[in-house]
Structure formats: structure tokens, C-alpha cells
Amino acid sequence: MRVAEGCKPLSRLGRVIAVTNQKGGVGKTTTCVNLSASLVATKKKVLMIDLDPQGNATMGSGIDKNDVDASIYDVLVHNKPIAEVSVFAETAGYDIIPSNADVTAAEVELLEIEGKEFRLRDALAIEKAEYDYIIIDCPPSLNMLTVNALAAAGGVLIPMQCEYYALEGLSALLDTIIRIQQVLNPQLQIEGLLRTMYDPRNSLTNDVSQQLSEHFGDKLYRTVVPRNIRLAEAPSHGMPVLYYDKQSKGAMAYLALAGEILRRSDHKESEEVALAE
């Protein structure tokens, strides 16, 4: 199929990935920041959206959340174009739509807006062609912000620790994804599960990891993110670990994850082309 000059084929529109887990403290924001930076390192153009009112992804990208002119609140509530809200994170290499405490109000105000579940999807409609990947950092709860992310995304990346309660929380998250598929977004798929804060010396870690492998098969990323002090330190310096200490195990892990995601994407595109022919 011939494509007009300057336009991407439909299969090349930016891939929207929501990074979510209803359980907090699993490395969700760490994954958003470092995966985004690692994709940039592979020459991909990336937009990260901070949907968490805590604004940790914003701060971890070197942007002061208290000193931005606009945030994702303005996109969701006031229909402000993404191009006018996004800022370039110089220490990370990607564009970001920042978040701060103002976004808490969006949860309430959205309830009064028609088509409230699709505000982010509609805002991204004209931006998807500008980026290779759009990564969304969701709040650690199922609220209207998370629903907007899942309604807009094509895939869900689930970071999780290999611990006992993680499996129980995962079951609830999978039920949520199924409901979103049925009601709001039939194209939504599980992009993959990422094991974070991984310690292979722990027998429970290995047991849970084995269960995940048996249940999810190739949806479980081969990459695991280890516990790593450099990974924990990087946010306080306002930069991804790749630029804080590129030789660290944390940096290597997220580069490996980016490579794995790109290979899966290439494989999927090859299958789509084969079906089209």
C-alpha cells in the first residue's frame, strides 16, 4: 500500500502503552521513566504522559511539577491540545505531559463531562502519528484517570513484584482489563508482564515467577528488573538511570526491555503485513 509522503502507515501510528498496577510500590513510575528513555536511546520518538497526581514521573524526568504552565489536567478537563501542554525533558530525551496535585481535581470534574472515559483517547487521536511510542504512567488505583488511560491504550504493561499478594492483585487487574475491553476498548490487549525488584535468591520470588510463566507464557517478558541502588537513586537527580549510571544493572535491564518490546512490535507488524497480503 502506498502511503502519502510525510504520513505513517496505519500500523506505524504511535503505539500507546498504559503502565498500570492497582497495587502501589511495584516500580510502575520507574518503569515508565526508564522504558521511555531506553526507547529514545533506540532512536524512537517518545511521549510520556504522567497521569498520577503525585507527579513522580514528572519529577523523575527532571521537570519541576510545581513550575509547569499546564498539565494533563488541562488536556482532560479543558480540551487543551497535547502539543501545547507537552514539554521536552532534557535530561531524559522525551516529551512529557506533566502532572501535579491539580490533576486530583480532574477525577471529580470529569464525572460531569460527557464522554468522560474518552477524553485522553480523543486528545491523542491527532498526536499518535507524531510519536513512535506513547507511554502512560497510571495512578495506583482504578479511577477515572486510569479508565481514560485504558480506553486510550492499545496495550497494558503490568509491572509487578514476585510476592504472595502480587498474584491476588493481578487477578483483580485482569478482571478490570476484561471489563474495559467489553465496554470501552475492544482493542485493548495485555502488552506484557514485567517482573520488578527481582531477587533470584528468594525462593518465593522463584515460585511466583514460575507460576507467572506457566499462566501467561510469552506475555511474561524475559527481561527482569533487579533490585538496584542506582535505579533507586536516579529519580532524586531528576533523570532516568540510563543517564545517571548507564553501566548499572538497572539501566541494562530497561535497555533489554526496550529491545524486547521493539522485537515484539516488529513481529506483530510482520504478521499484519502477511495477513494483508
In this predicted structure, the answer to whether residue 3 has a pLDDT above a threshold of 70 is: no
Q: Which of 218, 201, 203, 208 is nearest to 161 (CA)?
A: 208
- C-alpha 43/C-alpha 258 separation (Å) is 11
User: Would 128 be classed as within a structural domain?
Assistant: yes
Q: Supply the pLDDT for residue 141.
A: 86
In this predicted structure, the answer to whether residue 271 has a pLDDT above a threshold of 70 is: no
Q: Supply the pLDDT for residue 107.
A: 87
In this predicted structure, the answer to whether residue 50 has a pLDDT above a threshold of 80 is: yes
Cell numbers given for 215? 499462566
- C-alpha 138/C-alpha 77 separation (Å) is 17
Q: Supply the pLDDT for residue 171.
A: 86
State the pTM of this model.
0.91
Residue pair 136/152 in contact (Cβ under 8 Å)? The answer is yes
User: Would 5 be classed as within a structural domain?
Assistant: no
- C-alpha 251/C-alpha 81 separation (Å) is 33
User: Would 4 be classed as within a structural domain?
Assistant: no
Q: Which residues contact 88 (CB under 8 A, 6 or more apart)?
A: 94, 95, 96
In this predicted structure, the answer to whether residue 120 has a pLDDT above a threshold of 50 is: yes
Percent of the chain with pLDDT strictly greater than 70: 91
Pairing label, strands 15-19, 46-50: unpaired
Q: Is 159 helix (H, G, I), strand (E, B) or coil?
A: strand
User: Would 86 be classed as within a structural domain?
Assistant: yes
User: Would 2 be classed as within a structural domain?
Assistant: no
Mean pLDDT of the residues in the chain: 90
Q: Supply the pLDDT for residue 10.
A: 38
- Give helix then strand counts, H and E, for the chain: 12, 8
Give the number of domains in the chain: 1
User: Would 3 be classed as within a structural domain?
Assistant: no
**Domain range enclosing 23:** 10-276
User: Would 1 be classed as within a structural domain?
Assistant: no
What is the domain-level CATH number for residue 135? 3.40.50.300
User: Would 107 be classed as within a structural domain?
Assistant: yes
